[in-house]
Amino acid sequence: MANQSFSGNMAEMIKIARSYVNTRIELWKLSLLEKTSLAGAFFLSSVVIVLIIAFCLLFVSLAFSYWYGQQTGDLAMGFLITAGFYVIVGLIFILNRKSIISGPIVRKLTSILYKDDEPQNPEENDV
């Protein structure tokens, strides 16, 4: 009788352990899906913002070049001034790219990927 009780308890424990492992795997899958979705949304929104800013800069540059060309009568000089401005901005950007681009992107992705999902209080783990 005690032997049957022991084997019944072991079977029940194995069943509970399998259920726990499957639940943890599902939790990891959902956590991975959430983090992937957040990272994808971050990249997509970043690309859209960069494209909007790029088009705005394009039209502002063209407008300035034509305006300067009409004011001075030399359209080529307006475009050369605009190109010179972008060369200077590009050099500044290249020299500071780690602090301007790499740092904020790494911080944002780190906050997305390493967000604490587990409870901080060890007593909350006991269910």
Residue 127 placed within a domain: no
pTM of the predicted model as reported, rounded to 2 decimal places: 0.64
What is the count of structural domains for the chain?
1
Structural domain range at position 14: 2-116
Residue 126 placed within a domain: no
**pLDDT of 77-102, one tens digit each?**
999 999 999 999 999 989 988 887 77
Residue 36 placed within a domain: yes
Q: Is the pLDDT of residue 38 over 90?
A: no
What value does the mean pLDDT of the chain take? 85
Q: Which long-range contacts (CB under 8 A, 24 or more apart) does 27-36 make?
A: 31/117, 35/112, 35/113, 35/115
Residue 70 placed within a domain: yes
Residue 83 placed within a domain: yes
Cα gap 56→54, rounded to integer Å:
5
